[in-house]
Structure 1
Amino acid sequence: MTTSTPAGHARVAADAPHGPAGGRTALVFSGQGNQWLGMGRDLMAREPSVRAVLETADDVLLGATGWSLLGELAASEGESQLADPAVLQPTLVALQIALAGLLAERGLVADHFVGHSLGEIAAAAAAGALDLPEALHLARLRGELMRKAVGTGRTALLGVDAERAEALIAVYGGGADVAAWNAPEATLVAGDAGTVEAVVAELTGREVFARTLPGDIAFHSRFLEPLRTEFTEAARGLLVPRPTSGRVVSTVTGTLLEGGTDSDYWAANLREPVRFVQAVDTLLELGCRTFVEIGPHPTLGPSLTDCCAHRGVTPLVLPTLRRGEGEQENVLRTLWELRRTGAVRAAAPAGGHRVRFLTAVTAETPPPALRGRQAQFAARAAAKALTALGAAVPGDGAATATVTWDSTDDLAPEAASVVAAPVAPGADTAAVYARTPGTDWLRLATARPGTGTVPTLPDPAELTARCTARRYVADTAVASAAQDADDVLVRLRPGTGTGRRAHLELAVRITAAVLGAHAPIELCDVTGYDDTVAGDRVHVARMADGTARTTVLDAAGRPLLHIARSAWRTRHTAADPVTAPAPAAAGTTEAAALDLDALRAADPATRLTLLTDWVREAAAAMLRTGVDRVPALKPLNRLGVDSVIGLELRRRVAAVFGAEISVVRLLRGATPADLAADLDDWLTDTPDAGPGTAPVCSAPGAVGPGPDLDDPADIERLLDDLDALSPEEVDSLLGRLADDAASEI
C-alpha cells in the first residue's frame, strides 16, 4: 500500500491566493462520530427549509424502514436509537443535506464538495450527483451493512504519518491497514485487534499520540472486503447516474470525481481507505482557500488546517453546528463571517428565488444572530409577565401593560428557566424570574398595568404607499422590507406565527433588527387585539429619542398587537437607549467611524469600557470568532493571538488611533483591558494626536521606539539573538520583516 500523494496533487496552484480572504469555497462533509442527542432540533424549529428537507427524509425512511427520522431527532436519551448505524447514518446524511441547502438558501455559493467517509454521500447529494431519496437509501443500506461489521477488529488514530504507521503495522504482524489519511501527521489504522493495540502501545510508550477508538469495527480495511460485493449488489438499481460537473472531490481516489457514481463506487467508499489528505491537496490545487465543515459538530478543522499548512496555505475554516449550542446562531455566525471576510459571494439560487439574510450584509454589519437570540428571549420573558399579569386579552379595547427590565444580564436562552407570578396575592404587578443551571434566581423584569391610553394605530394603506425604499432587515421571519424616513414596514414570511406570544416575539425581534439593538429595556403600553390570526406585516416607527413604536398587522391590515413605546440597549451598553446607526458610506474607514474627540470627552469609566469593547471586537475579527469569545480579562496570546495577528492588530490601532501597541506585550499576556488602558492613557495624554501620528503605547517602564533596522546586518544580528532583544526591537524587527514580505506578494 502506498501513502504518497497522487501525481499532480503535490503542487498548489501558483495563481491561487494564499490567504483566507481569497480563493474558492469548498463544503466539507464530516463522517459519523460527531453526532449528539438533540442535534437538528433548533434548526427544525427556526428554519422552514431545514424542516421541509427533514420531513421529506422522514417520509422516505419511514416507508423503507418503519422508524421515524423526526422521532429520532426528538428522542430522549432512553429512546434514541442513534447507536445503531442503520439509524445513525441516514440521520446524519439527512441533516447534512438540510444544512447545505440552508447555506445555499442564505446565499453561499460553493465551488467544490468533499466528504469524509459517510459524508461523501451527503457531499454528492449537495452537488447534485444524488437526489435526496437516493442519498438516504445509500446511507440506510450502508448503515445496515455496518451492523455486520461488528467484531471485525479495532480502529485507532495515530499521531504519525501513514508511512510510519505502515512500518509499525509490519513490525507487529501486518494484521491492519491504513484506514484514512486524515492529516500529514494523523493516520487512522484498522484491523486485527492485537496488531492495532500493539501499535498504540508502542507509540504511547514513546509519548506519541495514539488512541484506540470505541467499538470493534475495523473501518475502511481489508476486513470489510466481504461487504463490498453485498453493497454493490444491494445498491444496484438504486441510482440514476448524474454528472457531478467536476465539483466533487473523491476521498476514495483523492481526485476530482468525473461523471456520475454507481453502486461499485459506493461500495468502494465503504471498503477503501479515506484519502482525505489527497482530496484536500486536490482542492488546494483547484484554488480552494475557504472550507466550511458540514456536520453536527466540527471534527475536521484541525485536519484541514494541518493539510493546508503542509502546503504553505493559510485557510479559512468554519463550522456549521456545535454540540449543545444554539444551531441557528452558529450557522448565521458562519454565514456572517463568510460575508464579512469576503470569502464567498452571494447569488440568487436557481429558480430566481430571493436569497435571504446575506444579500445586504457587509463588513460593517454586526452579527444578527446574537441580537436576535436575546430579543427572542426577552419576548419570551415579556409574554410570561403579561400572562401572569392577566392584562393583555383578545378583543378591541384590551387593557394595556408595561414590562420593565430589572436586569440587563444576558442569559443563555437555551439553558434558562423562566417563571412569572404576581408579586403578592391580588397585586396588580407581576415579576419575572430566570436562572441558568448552577445560578440563583434573578429578577429579570416587572409587568404593570399600562396607562390605558388608546394607541394611535398606523394606516396600512398609507404606509404601503409611502414606504417604497427597499430596506434590509436581518431576521429569518422577514420576507421583504421597505422604508420611508423613520417608518419601516416589514412583510413577514407566510406561516410565521399565531398567538399572543408569537405576535409579541415578532414585534420584539423585528424592532431589534430595525434599530440594530440587542435587547429591550422597557416595553410600554403593550396592547393585544387578536391572537387567533397569523401576523402578515410589522410596522416599526423610529422615534427621535431612539425609542420605537411597533405594530403587528394581519393580512387585512388589522392590528394584532401594538407596543406604544420601546426603549433598547446595545450589546455592550447596559442602560442607554440606542439609535440605529446610519449605513456607512462606501469607502468609510474604521478610523473615520470612531470619534476620538467624543471618546476623550466621555467620562473615564465609559471611555475605558468603549475602548475595551473596541479591542475585543478588533481581536475577535482577526481571530475569526465571536466577540463573546474574547473576554476582557483573558490574555490575548491564550486566545490565539500570535505575532502575525499581533502585527495586524497593531496596524489597526495605528490606523484608528494613530498610536502603536507592542506586539511583544501581546505575546507576553496582555489582555484587551490592558490594551484599552494603554489607549486610554494615550488618548488623555495626547489630545491633539490622531491617525498619522504614531507614539508608542507600551508596557509601563518601556523605553524609546527602538532602532529603525534599515541595515540588513542589523536584522541578521537581531535574528541570531531574539531572546536578548528589548520588546521595542522585536516589534520593529517584526514590522520591518512583515513589510518586506508584503512587498514581495
Structure 2
Amino acid sequence: MAADAARAHGTGRTALVFSGQGNQWPGMGQGLIAHEPSARAVLEEADAVLRPATGWSLLGELAASQEESRLEDPAVLQPTLVALQIALARLLAERGVVADVFVGHSLGEIAAAAAAGALDLADALRLARLRGELMRRAVGTGRTALLGVDAETAAALIARHGGGADIAAWNAPGSTLVAGEAATVRAMVDELAAQEVFGRLLPGDIAFHSRFLEPLREEFAAAAPGIRPRATTATLVSTVTGEVVEGPALDHAYWADNLRRPVRFVQAVDTLVDLGCRTFVEVGAHPTLSPSLTECCTARGVDPLVLPTLRRGEGEQENVLRTVWELRRTGAARTHGAGKVRFLAAAGTEAPRIALRGRAAQFAAGVTATAMTALETAGGATAPADPERRSVSVDWDTTEDLAPAEASVVAGPVAPGAATVAAYGRTTGSGWTRLLTARHEAPAPADAGPPDLAELTGRCTTPRTVADTAADTAWHAGDEVLVRLRRGIAPGRRSALDVAFRITAAVLGAHAPLSARGIEPYDTEAGPRWVHIARTGDGTATTTVMAEDGGPLLRIARSAWRDRTPGGSPTEEAPSAARQDTEEKVDPSTLAAADPATRVALLTERVRRVAAAALRTTVDRIPAQRPLSKLGMDSVMGLELRRTLEADFGVEIGLVRILRGATAADLAADIADGLAPQPTPGTTHDQREPGHGPGLPDLDDPADIERLLADLDALSPEEVDSLLGRLAGDAAGEI
C-alpha cells in the first residue's frame, strides 16, 4: 500500500499505540482510581481476576510506596501494566475517542488486542500473568541495550563482536534494540560510546526477544492453549509480523512468538501510515514510544500528531483529558456529542458558588441533549430497537454542580459498541466531573402518552406563579400544573429539553435532577408553547412539552429531583412550602400601626420568607443577619426576590445590594425607609423597564452584552441592576 499523499500532513486516522514495559512508576493509576469510575471499575475487576491466581492484590500494588513496590518483579509488573492500559483504553472510549487502528509494542500487544476486541479482560490478564511468571526465569539470560543506529548497522556490530546477540526490536529507522550475551551487548555499547553514538544498557539481566528465550517460548505455548481469541472490532496491527492481524490468529502459539520474536515496530508503523494513520495516542504509564513514532513517520514523509495518556508523577486525569481535548481541537479523532453550554455569571460574587437555580436545571438539559446526541451518533448497540420511539433514560452520577461559567461537555460510549453513554463536564479552573449516564430503553406504554391540551385547559383553572423567565402564565389543579410559555422560544429538541427541565424545577421548587426516565422527543419543527407537570405521590414528576396547538414535542415519563443540598433527596415539600412562604404577606394596616422596631421585625420575616422561596429552601435556613449572597442568592434568584418585594411594598430594591452582601434585616430596613417618606410633589417614579436604565446602551448586539459582562466592575450599581434585569428578561431565549 502506498501512503496517501493528500493526507500526509493531515490528522488522518487515529491509532492507539500500547507501550511495553519499562515506563512504570510507583503510584501510577492512583489518580484514575480516585477520579475516574470507569477506569477504577476495570482495575477492580482486574484485581478480582488476578488475586485468586496470584495471591497478590493489583490495587494494593498500585497503591504501594516506592519502598514497598514489587513492580521490579515481572510477574507483578506485566499484568499490572496490561490492566492499567486496558483501563486507559476504556477511559478514552468513554471520553468519546474512537480509534481506527490498534497496535502494541511487545507486552503492550496484549492490551492492544483486548482494546481491539480480540481478548476479554480475563484472557488478557492470564496471558500477561503467564508471560510475567516465565520472565522470572529469564533473569540471567543476558542483557538488552538500545542503540542509536539502524538495524543494518546493529547487525554488523553483532557480527563484529562474535554474533552472541540478536536484533530484539526495530524501534525506529535510527533506533534498534539488541539482546544477547552480556559481554557481547556491553561491547557493542562501548564501541558506540567511543564513537559518541548513543547506546544504553537497559536495566535487568534478561535478553528480551532473542534466541535465549527460545525454551520459554515453548513453555508459553504449552501453558496458554485455553486462550479464546475473537474477531476484532477494529483493525489490529501486529508487531510480531508488522502487518494487520485477524483476531482468531491470536492463539497461544502467536503469543509465544510475541515473547520470543523481535518486535517489528518500524514495520508496524509503516503499515499504520499506509492505512492512513496520522494521529497516534501512546497508551501507557509514561510516553516512551513517542520519539520512535515521530521518527518512523518522518522517514515516510508524514508529520504525525503524537499524544500521551499518562506522564510519570503528573495528574493522571488531567493528562488524559488534555489529550482528549487536543484530539477534539484538531479534529484528529471523532468524539461523540461534544458541545458547550453557556452560562452568565452573576455580578458581585465573592467566592465560587454552585450553579444558579434554574440554570442548574438548564445545564442539566444541555448535558442531557449532548448525551442523547451521543447515543444517536454512536450507532451499533446504542441504536433504539424502534427508531420511531426514541426513549432515553439518564441518571446523574454526581450531586456536585459546576460553577456559573462556560462549561465544556463531552459524551461518548462507556466502551466501544456499548449501549450506555457517559457525559463529563468541566469549567475553567475546575476538574472533570462525570455528570450523567444515558441509555436507550423501551418507551412508556401507549396509554401513558401525552395529555390532551383541551382537557388540561379545562381542568387547570386556578392561577399560580411559576418562577422562571420562560413562563408567561400558569394554572394548576391538584398535583397538575399547566404553564404557558413566552413566545419566541426556538424550536428543536434542545429547546424542548431546556424548558422541560427548567419549568419542572420551578414547579417542584427543586434544584437539579437525580434521574429522568423515558425521555421521548417527537419529530416536529414547532416551538415550545405549553408545559404540563404532573406530580406523583413518590415525589417524581411527569413532564410534557407541547406546541401552540397542543401537539407533543417532548415527554419525560418520570423525573426525580433534589434540592440545593448536595446529595439531597427528591424534593417533595419544597413547592408547597415555597407557595406558603410567598402567600403569607404582611398586612399593610399592621405595618402602618406598628412602631418602627416592630415594622422592621415584620418586614424582616417577610424578606426571609420570600428569600427562602427564591432559594427553594425553608425559612429557618435564612438567618436575618447573614448576607443572602452567602446563602447562595444569585442574580436570577435576586431578581425573583426583588420583584416579589417590590410588588408587595412598591419600594425599589437594588439587585446589586442583594448580590453584594445585604442581609434580610438590611433589606427590611431599606423597605421600612422607603415606606416612610412620600414622594415630594412634582416627582415621579422611574417607570422604565429593566434593561433600559440611564447610561446603558441597547443590548441588541451580543458583543455589547459580552463587553458589559466583562466590565461589570466599571458599571454603576444602577447600570448593573439594569443589565442583569435585561438579561433575566431575555433568559427564555438562551436555549
Match of 1:52 in 2: 41
Residue 513 of structure 1 aligns with an amino acid whose one-letter code is: A
Match of 2:156 in 1: 167
CA contact (8 A) 1:246 1:257 kept: no
Of 8, 13, 27, the residue aligned with 2:4 is 13
- Partner-residue secondary structure (3-state), 1:305: helix
Residue 290 of structure 2 aligns with an amino acid whose one-letter code is: G
Residue 518 of structure 1 aligns with an amino acid whose one-letter code is: T
Q: CA deviation at 1:457?
A: 10
Q: CA deviation at 1:518?
A: 3.5
Match of 1:637 in 2: none
Separation of aligned partners in 2, 1:457 and 1:328: 27
The one-character-per-residue Cα deviations of 1:10-57 (angstroms, maximum 9, x if unpaired) are: x4234x511243x11110000000011111111111111111111111
Of 241, 248, 254, the residue aligned with 1:253 is 241
Distance change (3 Å), C-alpha of 1:142 and 1:156: same
Match of 1:556 in 2: 570
Match of 1:360 in 2: 338
Separation of aligned partners in 2, 1:593 and 1:265: 62
Match of 1:81 in 2: 70
2:240 corresponds to 1:241: no
Of 130, 138, 152, the residue aligned with 2:141 is 152
Residue 366 of structure 2 aligns with an amino acid whose one-letter code is: R
The one-character-per-residue Cα deviations of 1:30-85 (angstroms, maximum 9, x if unpaired) are: 00000111111111111111111111111100111111111111112222211111
Q: How many residues align?
A: 426
Match of 1:518 in 2: 428
Separation of aligned partners in 1, 2:197 and 2:358: 72
The one-character-per-residue Cα deviations of 1:86-145 (angstroms, maximum 9, x if unpaired) are: 011001101100110111111111111000000000000000110000000000000000
CA contact (8 A) 1:537 1:552 kept: no
Match of 2:284 in 1: 295
CA contact (8 A) 1:339 1:361 kept: no
CA RMSD of aligned residues (A): 4.2
Separation of aligned partners in 2, 1:594 and 1:315: 38
5+ long unaligned stretches in structure 1: 1-7, 348-358, 367-401, 406-444, 448-454, 480-490, 497-502, 521-533, 539-548, 568-576, 578-591, 603-745
Correspondences of 1:466-481 after superposition (within 5 Å): 470-471=366-367
Residue 253 of structure 2 aligns with an amino acid whose one-letter code is: D
Distance change (3 Å), C-alpha of 1:117 and 1:519: closer
Separation of aligned partners in 2, 1:136 and 1:224: 21
CA contact (8 A) 1:109 1:344 kept: yes
Separation of aligned partners in 1, 2:225 and 2:406: 54
Q: CA deviation at 1:346?
A: 2.3
- Partner-residue secondary structure (3-state), 2:186: helix
Correspondences of 1:260-659 after superposition (within 5 Å): 260=248, 261-347=250-336, 359-361=337-339, 470-471=366-367, 496=398, 506-507=400-401, 513=407, 518=428, 552=566, 554-557=568-571, 563-565=631-633
The one-character-per-residue Cα deviations of 1:608-637 (angstroms, maximum 9, x if unpaired) are: xxxxxxxxxxxxxxxxxxxxxxxxxxxxxx
**Greater C-alpha radius of gyration:** 2
Q: CA deviation at 1:474?
A: 10
- Partner-residue secondary structure (3-state), 2:328: helix
Of 74, 93, 110, the residue aligned with 1:104 is 93
Q: CA deviation at 1:468?
A: 8.9
- Partner-residue secondary structure (3-state), 2:285: coil
5+ long unaligned stretches in structure 2: 343-347, 376-392, 409-424, 431-510, 516-562, 573-615, 622-629, 636-658, 660-700, 712-735
Residue 428 of structure 2 aligns with an amino acid whose one-letter code is: H
Q: CA deviation at 1:360?
A: 2.1
Residue 21 of structure 2 aligns with an amino acid whose one-letter code is: Q
The one-character-per-residue Cα deviations of 1:538-594 (angstroms, maximum 9, x if unpaired) are: 9xxxxxxxxxx9764634127799951579xxxxxxxxx9xxxxxxxxxxxxxx999
The one-character-per-residue Cα deviations of 1:347-404 (angstroms, maximum 9, x if unpaired) are: 4xxxxxxxxxxx2248xx99xxxxxxxxxxxxxxxxxxxxxxxxxxxxxxxxxxx996
CA contact (8 A) 2:19 2:289 kept: yes
Separation of aligned partners in 2, 1:512 and 1:246: 35
Separation of aligned partners in 1, 2:169 and 2:281: 20
Distance change (3 Å), C-alpha of 1:472 and 1:321: farther
Residue 556 of structure 1 aligns with an amino acid whose one-letter code is: P
Separation of aligned partners in 2, 1:177 and 1:467: 60
- Partner-residue secondary structure (3-state), 2:119: coil
Distance change (3 Å), C-alpha of 1:204 and 1:565: farther
Match of 1:488 in 2: none
Residue 9 of structure 2 aligns with an amino acid whose one-letter code is: G
Q: CA deviation at 1:494?
A: 5.0
The one-character-per-residue Cα deviations of 1:639-674 (angstroms, maximum 9, x if unpaired) are: xxxxxxxxxxxxxxxxxxxxxxxxxxxxxxxxxxxx
- Partner-residue secondary structure (3-state), 1:470: helix
CA contact (8 A) 1:512 1:519 kept: no
Distance change (3 Å), C-alpha of 1:54 and 1:564: same
Residue 557 of structure 1 aligns with an amino acid whose one-letter code is: T
Q: CA deviation at 1:516?
A: 8.0
Residue 244 of structure 1 aligns with an amino acid whose one-letter code is: T
CA contact (8 A) 1:473 1:513 kept: no
Distance change (3 Å), C-alpha of 1:101 and 1:457: closer
Separation of aligned partners in 1, 2:703 and 2:176: 49
Distance change (3 Å), C-alpha of 1:151 and 1:18: same
CA contact (8 A) 1:115 1:121 kept: yes
Match of 2:731 in 1: none
Residue 93 of structure 1 aligns with an amino acid whose one-letter code is: V
Match of 2:84 in 1: 95
CA contact (8 A) 1:550 1:563 kept: no
CA contact (8 A) 1:25 1:110 kept: yes
Instruction: Tell me which stretches of 4 or more aligned residues in structure 1 moved more than 4 Å.
Output: 402-405, 455-460, 466-469, 471-475, 491-495, 508-512, 514-517, 534-538, 549-553, 558-563, 592-595
Separation of aligned partners in 2, 1:566 and 1:339: 33
Match of 1:121 in 2: 110
2:74 corresponds to 1:180: no
- Partner-residue secondary structure (3-state), 2:88: helix
The one-character-per-residue Cα deviations of 1:155-200 (angstroms, maximum 9, x if unpaired) are: 1100000000000110010100000000000000000111111110
CA contact (8 A) 1:535 1:553 kept: no
Distance change (3 Å), C-alpha of 1:342 and 1:593: farther
Separation of aligned partners in 2, 1:456 and 1:166: 65
CA contact (8 A) 2:356 2:404 kept: no
Residue 226 of structure 1 aligns with an amino acid whose one-letter code is: P
TM-score after normalising by structure 1? 0.52
Distance change (3 Å), C-alpha of 1:509 and 1:37: farther
Match of 2:544 in 1: none
Separation of aligned partners in 2, 1:593 and 1:225: 71
Match of 1:29 in 2: 18
Q: CA deviation at 1:509?
A: 5.4
Distance change (3 Å), C-alpha of 1:255 and 1:593: farther
Separation of aligned partners in 2, 1:225 and 1:594: 71
Match of 1:221 in 2: 210
CA contact (8 A) 1:492 1:535 kept: no
Distance change (3 Å), C-alpha of 1:42 and 1:467: closer
Distance change (3 Å), C-alpha of 1:244 and 1:472: closer
Separation of aligned partners in 1, 2:108 and 2:427: 39
Match of 1:204 in 2: 193
TM-score after normalising by structure 2? 0.52
- Partner-residue secondary structure (3-state), 2:179: strand
Separation of aligned partners in 2, 1:512 and 1:226: 60
Residue 360 of structure 1 aligns with an amino acid whose one-letter code is: A
The one-character-per-residue Cα deviations of 1:459-513 (angstroms, maximum 9, x if unpaired) are: 99xx96x8895357999xx99xxxxxxxxxxx995553xxxxxx6xx24557673
- Partner-residue secondary structure (3-state), 2:32: helix
